[in-house]
Amino acid sequence: MGCLSVTLSVRSQTASTISGIVSSAEDGKPLPFAYIILKNVKLGTVTDENGRFHITISDQYKNGHLQFSYVGYKTSELSISTIPDIHSVYVKLTPDVKLLNEVVVKAQPEYKPKELLRKMLERVPKNYGNVSVNMEGYYRETVKENNGYIKYADAACLFYYTPYTGDSYKWRDFVNPYFIRGSLSNLSGYWGERLHRGHFSHKTLKDDGVKIIDSRASANQSKKNMNANIEGGPMSVLGNDLIKIQEYFLKKKNFSKYEYTLTEELDQARNEWVYVLGFERKVDLAKLELAAKRKKINSYLLNVKENMLSGKIYIERHSLAARKVEYFVPSSLKKYICGYTTMAIKHFDYKVTLEYQQLNGKWYPHHFRQEDEFIINDSIKQTITPYIAVEELFIHKVKSDSVKKIKPEELFANVDQNQLYDYPIEYDSSFWVNYYQAFPAYSIPEDVRQDMETTKKLEQQFADKQKKDESLLPPVAKKEQYQFKIHGEAITDEYAWLKDPKAPKSNKPVMDYLTAENQYSDNYFIPLRKNQRSIFSELTSRVEKNFESLPTREDGYLYYYRFGTDDEHPRYYRKAQRKDKEELLLDVNELAANKDFYTAGEISVSPNTNIMAFYENSDGTNDYTVKFKDLSTGELLSDSLTQAGTLVWASNKIIYYTIQEPATNRSYRLMKHQLGSAQSTDDLVTEEKDNRFSLSISRSKSKQLIFLTASSKTSNETRFLYSKNAGGDFRLILPREEDHQYYVSHFKDKFFIATNKNAPNYKVMITDTANYSRHNWRQFLPHRSDVLLEEMEFFDDYYVLQEKSNAQTQLRIVEMGTKKENVIKTNESICEVKIGYNPETKTDTLQYSYSSFTEPLTVYNYSMKTGKQITVKKQVVPYMP
């Protein structure tokens, strides 16, 4: 059995802790994530990445046996009663060498490994289903904690599955990860609180889908307050179909990253010889370990993390169809799957088996199985708790005639937020009785029942999970006297004990109360979950699938953006005003492909229309980087501006932009950037020292001026610079004053200044741009105590006021010469009207928007001369019956 040395330390009168190291008897290296199980008891742990373990055993099991197991090694067993009382334990496991008569191998096949792999891939469209089909199947998922089952869910399913084409798909072909129909689980964005699956591809094509015919789920039997679920459901495990969606070892560009071997084995069940194509990821472990120790993700580490699988493909000799694929993460790479963090869930193993069946000469999915293993390292209780999450899919019927797609409202999409365990369907016992009669092989496994029926039958758990427990009362937080001082004033907070910013997870009273609140909330909403799903489906069905923005006119071009049916992000375009050919400026979907988070936009183009600036963010923070793109070549420039706020092109080469303060994201500096130079060489124009104020930079409608504004909640000040004097100094219009806000518009040679000085609803002053000191201001519009001025727009012959009176917005049009006024009439008394995009002044057409509780957003062009209007764009509101 190997050399054993054990440490026992008494924690109490009823339990002892056994500690030690598990290593390989072959080379003495520690075995990370080896299992230690108390035989026939739901108690166990795994070793950490250094092979160390701690397991606390109750005295009632002092005569029990510990089992030590590791993939590729013989399981070792140890009687607890024979362990001496010493300081350490060393368990050495012996490699498991299979006997020759267990696997019959025939040498010297007629193909070389990569040659066979290429031929197998070339024949995928011929060997596998080449038309769309409906498939009927059964899906089951289980979660084990400490070697005992704690969660069970299953479902009868109907699939729509598109053909095997052998194509290399792009990101736009796959399911949008934000398209959600189903459980709407309250999924944490933090992987450390989820049974996360994001380390490996689970892609499904947009047209592929599944409908849940019926499903059921057990109670949660966790003793560790584990609430995380398996993510994605049936389409998640079907997303492992690498014969259809070729990734990793089957993607031609990755062939050089793998070592391929080829043997032949006898399939004794069919009495047929098959090719066995083995593949193993080539890894320099020393280089990988060095990369892992660095603070930032090294390119080599990232490359390995994206392609770390090994396994076998079982290929038919004559057709060269893969009838079975097995792949997994090798033991040496397990610790690199994701970060090893205390008090958080770590993903450390991943195993998949794909078995195909032949029907009418074509191969289809038959039995897919995925196993993910996780651990939680509790640094408070000094325990490592293992979890095993298993998904299985069985396909028992494939239908290629009268095939129907799954309706959008019936889809259970392959997205993290969809979790079958929380799918709100009431338990239908008669359905499952009939289902078992038709498919007895799908009966609940006995070991699942044995673990989970200690207090209640599973069938009763299925029924109770969809019923509200009326006896569960809302938790009441206890009160504890606590006082503290703020600015010399004593504050009493009876709930201060709930505030634990340092280590809330190790604070038992806090966690117990939060758990009770969550249990009450979950229980309360059980009867409403179906309504929640229905409302969500209706809301998403009303989102316009194909959207194109109204164009903006700049320097001879029309600029606009567009969302396609399944686009998560926009695409930005432009076209010359006198031409029909459009130019794609930025495809944010393409930039965001394969990224956990990405957003980009807010494009602005240089005055000569050659260089485009745009903002991007890839970490979900408020720190944005400005990138520059040469529109004539499509190449990105080397320039980039980090922590950027607002931005204005002063000339074709000079950009003014604000910088955000790292700690607060307050825009506190104005910088001047010379295109083609490093950001570190940029000139500091001004810095806002008062942390109540933030800076913003903008350009006037006339494009003649650049405005720099410093604003707080209650006051502001504005400076200006003529664009033609891009290198000059900004001039202050009026210094800041307490409780004084003013906003400046430039029209011809005048400043129109909306000010709340002694005018809470704002009045408008006018002054020359050459003599703008306050004593030169004169009143243009008086203050009105019953009307709030929100915005104003100037044209050569008119000006327009956006006002609010009695909580209702309205647009007032005033003719410059005659002062004749006209308020645009609306169909409804309760609505919202706003001034729209109006870049030109030499026009009598006003663009404005209108919406109400009964009318979608509509944009109009209104003739200020005749009062007639035309609809420019009306929001499309789809309806799903």
Predicted pLDDT of residue 313:
97
Buried b (16+ CB within 10 A) or exposed e, 555-591: eebbbbbebeebbbbbbbbbeeeeeeeeeebbbbbeb
Q: What angle do CA 473, 478, 483 make, to 5 degrees?
A: 155
CA distance 543 to 876: 8
The confidence band for 416, taking pLDDT boundaries of 50, 70 and 90, is: confident
Predicted pLDDT of residue 881:
43
Predicted pLDDT of residue 378:
85
Task: Please write the tens of the pLDDT for every residue from 127-157.
Answer: 999 999 999 999 999 999 999 999 999 999 9
Surface-to-core class of residue 430, CB atoms within 10 Å of its CB (0-12 exposed, 13-18 middle, 19+ buried)? exposed
Predicted pLDDT of residue 172:
72
Predicted pLDDT of residue 87:
60
The confidence band for 81, taking pLDDT boundaries of 50, 70 and 90, is: confident
- Predicted TM-score of the model (pTM): 0.72
Predicted pLDDT of residue 118:
95
**Spatial contact of 585 and 561, defined as CB atoms under 8 Å apart:** no
Task: Please write the tens of the pLDDT for every residue from 550-588.
Answer: 999 989 999 999 988 777 889 999 999 888 889 999 999
Give the length of the chain: 881
Q: Is the pLDDT of residue 88 over 70?
A: yes
- Please state whether beta strands 667-674 and 683-687 pair in parallel, antiparallel, or not at all (unpaired): antiparallel
Predicted pLDDT of residue 340:
76
Q: Is the pLDDT of residue 210 over 80?
A: yes
Q: Is the pLDDT of residue 186 over 70?
A: no
Predicted pLDDT of residue 501:
81
99 or 594: which leads in pLDDT: 594
What mean pLDDT do residues 767-776 have?
95
**Spatial contact of 395 and 357, defined as CB atoms under 8 Å apart:** yes
Task: Please write the tens of the pLDDT for every residue from 269-302.
Answer: 888 899 999 999 999 999 988 888 875 667 788 8
Q: Is the pLDDT of residue 519 over 90?
A: no
CA distance 866 to 31: 84
Q: Is the pLDDT of residue 12 over 60?
A: no
What mean pLDDT do residues 404-412 have?
89
Q: For the ranges 81-85, 214-218, 228-232, which has the lowest average pLDDT?
A: 81-85
Task: Please write the tens of the pLDDT for every residue from 686-708.
Answer: 999 999 999 999 999 999 999 99
The confidence band for 359, taking pLDDT boundaries of 50, 70 and 90, is: very high
Mean pLDDT over the full length of the chain: 90
Predicted pLDDT of residue 541:
67
Residue 588, C-beta contacts closer than 8 angstroms, at least 6 positions apart = 569, 570, 571, 572, 598, 599, 600, 601
Q: For the ranges 159-163, 351-355, 488-492, 794-798, which has the lowest average pLDDT?
A: 488-492
Structural element, H or E, at residue 514: helix 508-524
**Spatial contact of 44 and 147, defined as CB atoms under 8 Å apart:** yes
Task: Please write the tens of the pLDDT for every residue from 445-463.
Answer: 999 999 999 999 999 999 9
Predicted pLDDT of residue 276:
96
Sign of CA dihedral 609, 611, 615, 616: positive
Predicted pLDDT of residue 4:
43
Sign of CA dihedral 777, 779, 781, 783: positive
Q: Is the pLDDT of residue 743 over 70?
A: yes
Residue type, 66: L
**Spatial contact of 615 and 625, defined as CB atoms under 8 Å apart:** yes
